Amino acid sequence: MTQSATNYITIDASEKNADGTQKVTAEITRVAQTLTMGGVSVLKYDSAVNANMGLGNNGMLLGLKITTLYDQDGNPIKSEGADEFFKKLMTDPQYLKVEFELAKGHLMDEESGQITVDSSNEYYGVQIRMPKTSVAVGETWTTEGFWEPPMRGGKFKTSTKHALKEVKTESGRKIAVITSKMTCHPEKPKQTLIEGMIVTKLDVSAESIASVDIESGLILKNTSDADFEVEYIIDSVKDKVSGKIKTTVTQTPKQ
């Protein structure tokens, strides 16, 4: 089975306050998804072309618009827009309650308990976290984050080692090239968002390379390759799944 999913998200981070806080707005404006099994196309959906095709497609979050206020360190203070969106989505008869709960739980930030701009841009790649102090070429820093198995089996803490590989100039922009290696080997079983399902083992390793515009801080491109293996129990039956996920995130600044 090969699945490809694309989200198009418009982000406005132009409003910065005198006290160092910043308001950021993100809206999912287009989604696309393809699914093939044994070389045969099972699903092909693009919201720019097709109407919403109903259960299980990637179009559920189309139109989600979130405004988040961040403090000076980039931590979310409060977020608006998600509650209203999901309240309206609940009345849509084409979505099952379990789909609704999974989608909302998938976006919920574990630390803040909110659905923020950051969580709307979740993906199965390596999340780049900038260092809190200045670093030189060749230096490294380590951050923690979250990774979620493809079947939405809850979120697990990750450890990622980043390195500043080089600084170069492209099209008049000063670009920092950052390489990252992420690992995730949780030891304790975890109850997931799916009723009756417990993840008993999760092994993830991923590497990525990102290009960052130094002046704006915008991640222009981030490509990562992840290998994963998940063992779980669902309704007392043991099973496991493994696979590879390649993720490319491209961000284009408004000129």
Specify the pLDDT at position 54: 46
pLDDT for the residue 190? 78
Residue ranges in the chain modelled with pLDDT below 70: 51-59, 93-102, 105-106, 110-111, 120-124, 149-154, 193, 254-255
The pLDDT score that the predictor gives to residue 35 is: 85
Determine the pLDDT at residue 57: 45
Read off the pLDDT of residues 3-46 as tens digits, 9 standing for 90 and up: 788 888 888 888 888 998 999 999 989 888 888 888 888 888 88
- How many Cβ atoms from other residues are within 10 Å of residue 82's Cβ? 21
